[in-house]
Amino acid sequence: MTAKETTELVNLLDFDAEGLREWCASIGEKPFRATQLTRWIHRRQVSDFDQMTDLAKSFREKLRKLAVIEPPVPIAEKKSSDGTRKWLFDVGGGNAVEAVFIPEDDRGTLCISSQAGCAMGCLFCSTGKQGFNRNLSTSEIVGQLWWAERELCRDQGITDPNDRVISNVVLMGMGEPLQNLDNVIRALRIFLDDNGYGLSRRRVTVSTSGLVNQIDKLAEAAPVALAVSLHAATDELRDKLMPVNKKHPVSQLMAACRRYLRVAPRDFITFEYVMLGGINDSLEDADRLVELVRRERVPCKFNLIPFNPFPQSDLEKPTREKVLAFCYRLNEAGYVATVRKTRGDDIDAACGQLAGEVRDRTRRAERLAQQKKEAAVILHRHNKD
C-alpha cells in the first residue's frame, strides 16, 4: 500500500458510537455492524480486521481497504517498582504525550493527556512552561486507554473481554481537556459506552483549570466527575498563579461548579490545590479556602498536592509540617482533604506537575488517620512554642 493510500484510511478510533454508525451507513453497512466493531475495537483491543471473526468476510475486506485502527505508538515505557506504568506516546511533529497507570488495591487508574503542551500557562506547571503545540485527536486520546488496557491485560494474562485492568480514567495529564472539548467529549462517550469501555460516569474524571463556559458544555454533553484546579481562594492570588483567573474569576468558577453539581455523578467537586511554599500554604490560606466554599455553597473535597520543583520554576516545596497542618485545618472545618502521595517516583511518573494529581488512595483511611495524628503533634508543638 502506498503512503498516499495509507493517509486516506479512516482511523476508527476517532469515532464514538454515533460516528461509527454514520460511517458504516456511508459505506452501505447496517447500524449493528458499528456495535460489533465497537466491541472488537474497545472491549477486546483488536486492531486486525481478520481477527474479527463474527464480521462477514465481505465487510472485513471493505474495512481493510477503507479503515485502520491506529492508536499513537509509545516511544518509551517505564515500570515502577510500585507497579506504576508510564507510556510516552509519539504524536508526530516531535511531540510526545504521557499516560500513567496507577494500580491500587481497589482500582486501576489511568491518567491520560488531552493536548500536546498546554496554553494555560499556570505558574507552577512544567507542561505550561513548554507552551502549546496542538490538540490531540479523539484517536490519540482514546488510543492511550486502548493501548494501556491491551498491554496490561496481556501482562496479566487476561483474555476475557469482560475483565478489565483499568477501572478509572482521569484526564489530568498534559493539557487543558476543556480547550479540546469536541475531541474530549467524543473520547468520553467511548469510555462510557457499554460496548466500549463501559466505565461509569463516576469513574471518569475531567480536570480543568476553570474554563467556565466549557464546564457548562461538558455538563450538557458528558457530565462525568469534575476536578477543578483551584490553588488559591482569592482572585488576587489566583490571578498570579493561573492566568485563566483573569478571564474567569473565582466567583464565576464557583457558580459554574454549582451548576455542574446539578448533573454531576457525584455530589461534590474535587478541588485540586498545589501547595507552594510560602505562597498559599499558611493556615490563613486554609481558612480562606473554607470561607470561600462555605460562602459559595459548593460541596467539595480537597486534594492537596505538595509542589514538586522542576528546573525552570522559581517556586518552593512546602514543608511537610505546613502541608499536614493545612490538611488538618480543612479536616477540622469538616472537609475531606487528602494529601497526594507521589507514585512512581522512580520512573518520574508525573505528567507535567499535575499528572500526579492521580492520588494514591490505597489504604486511604489509614493514611488520613496518620495525617491527622502527625498534624495534631505538629499543632501541639506549635501551641507549646
**Burial of 3 (C-beta count, 10 Å sphere; 0-12/13-18/19+):** exposed
Chain residues 203-222 in contact with ligand SF4, contact rule CB under 6 A: 209
* One of 128, 196, 344, 356 touching ligand SF4 (CB under 6 A): 128
- Residues of this chain, 22-81, that bind ligand SF4 according to CB under 6 A: none
- Smallest separation, CB 113 to ligand SF4 (Å): 9
Shortest distance, position 276 Cβ to ligand SF4, whole Å:
13
Minimum separation from the CB atom of position 105 to ligand SF4 (A): 28
CB 246 within 8 A of CB 235: no
Strands 73-79 and 85-90: antiparallel
Half-sphere exposure of 313 (CA within 13 A, CB side): 22
Spot the catalytic one: 29, 70, 98, 149: 98
Q: Do strands 300-306 and 269-275 pair parallel, antiparallel, or not at all (unpaired)?
A: parallel
Binding status of residue 95 toward ligand SF4 by CB under 6 A: no
Q: Which of 248, 72, 238 is nearest to 146 (CA)?
A: 72
Placement of cell 516545596 in the chain: 317
Task: Give φ, ψ of 230 to 5 degrees.
Answer: -100, -65
Closest CA to 312 of 126, 52, 90: 126
83 is known to lie in a ligand binding site? no
CA dist 45 and 109 (Å) reads 18
Closest CB to ligand SF4 among 11 and 313? Answer: 313
For the bound state, the minimum distance from the C-beta of residue 245 to ligand SF4, rounded and expressed in Å, comes to 11
125 binds ligand SF4 (CB under 6 A): yes
Under 8 Å CB-to-CB from 150, ≥6 apart: which residues?
45
Q: Is 176 labelled a binding residue?
A: yes
Q: Which residue has the closest beta carbon to ligand SF4?
A: 128
Task: Pick the piece of the chain touching ligand SF4 (CB under 6 A) from 114-122, 163-171, 188-196, 319-327.
Answer: 114-122
24 is catalytic: no
> What strands, in cross-sheet order, belong to the sheet with 85-90?
73-79, 85-90, 96-103, 108-111, 168-171, 204-208, 225-229, 269-275, 300-306, 337-339
CA 238, 243, 244, 247 dihedral sign is positive
Q: Looking at 153, 327, 351, 357, which residue is catalytic? A: 351
- Annotated binding residue 380: no
CA 27 remoteness from chain centre: 35
| 352 binds ligand SF4, rule: CB under 6 A | yes
Q: Which of these ranges, 4-12, 118-126, 156-164, 195-203, lies near ligand SF4 under the rule CB under 6 A?
A: 118-126
Residue 175 or 196 with smaller CB distance to ligand SF4: 175
Residue 352 labelled as part of a binding site: no
- 230 assigned binding-site residue: yes
Amino acid in the structure at residue 348: D
Q: Among this protein's residues, is 98 annotated catalytic? A: yes
- Residue 304 φ then ψ, to 5°: -90, 130
* x-or-dash string of contact with ligand SF4, 150-189, rule CB under 6 A: ------------------------xxx-------------
Determine whether the annotation assigns residue 175 to a binding site.
Answer: yes
Which residue numbers are catalytic?
98, 351
Contact residues for ligand SF4, defined by CB under 6 A = 118, 120-122, 125, 127-128, 174-176, 209, 229, 352, 354
Binding-site positions for [4Fe-4S] cluster read 118, 122, 125
